[in-house]
Amino acid sequence: MTRIQLQDLRKEFDDVTAVDGIDLTIEDGEFLVIVGPSGCGKSTTLRLLAGLEHATDGRIRMNDRDVTGIEPKNRNIAMVFQNYALYPHMTGRRNISFGMKSAGEFTDREIEKRVDQASETLDIADLLDRKPQAMSGGERQRVALGRAIVRDPDAFLMDEPLSNLDAKLRIQMRAELTKLHSELGTTTVYVTHDQTEAMTLGERVVVMEDGRIMQVDTPQVLYDFPEHRFVAEFIGDPAMNMIDVSLETGSAVHDAFRLPLPTGGAYSEEWTEANRAAVLGIRPEDLYLAKERPNLGQTTFTATVDVTEPLGDSLLLHCSVGESKFKMEAEPRATIEPADEIEVMYDPARLHLFDPETG
Ligand code: ADP
Ligand 1 pocket mutation, candidates 16, 22, 42, 45, criterion most atoms within 8 A of CB: 16
Q: Return d(Cα 271, Cα 172) in angstroms, integer.
A: 43
What is the distance in A from the centroid of ligand 1 to the CA of 349?
39
Q: Work out which ligand 1 atom sits closest to the CA atom of 44.
A: 6
Q: Work out which ligand 1 atom sits closest to the CA atom of 45.
A: 6
Q: Work out which ligand 1 atom sits closest to the CA atom of 208.
A: 3
Q: Is the pLDDT of residue 276 over 90?
A: no
Name the residue at shortest CA distance from atom 1 of ligand 1: 39
Considering only CA atoms, which of 227, 334, 245, 243 is closest in space to residue 284? 243
Phi and psi at residue 352, to the nearest 5° = -120, 150
Q: Work out which ligand 1 atom sits closest to the CA atom of 11.
A: 12
pLDDT digits (tens, 9 = 90+) for 222-257: 999 999 999 999 999 999 999 999 988 778 899 888
The pTM of the whole model exceeds 0.90: yes
pLDDT of residue 269: 67
Separation in Å, CA 348 to CA 174, 273, 295, 297: 35, 16, 16, 11
pLDDT digits (tens, 9 = 90+) for 62-121: 998 999 999 998 999 999 998 888 999 999 999 999 988 887 888 999 999 999 999 998
Q: Which pairs from 306-313 meet CB under 8 Å and 24+ separation?
A: 306/338, 307/338, 308/336, 308/337, 308/338
Concatenating the DSSP letter of every residue in 96-151 gives HHHHHHHHT-S-HHHHHHHHHHHHHHHT-GGGTTS-GGGS-HHHHHHHHHHHHHTT
Which whole number is the average pLDDT over 309-319? 96
What is the distance in A from the centroid of ligand 1 to the CA of 28?
28
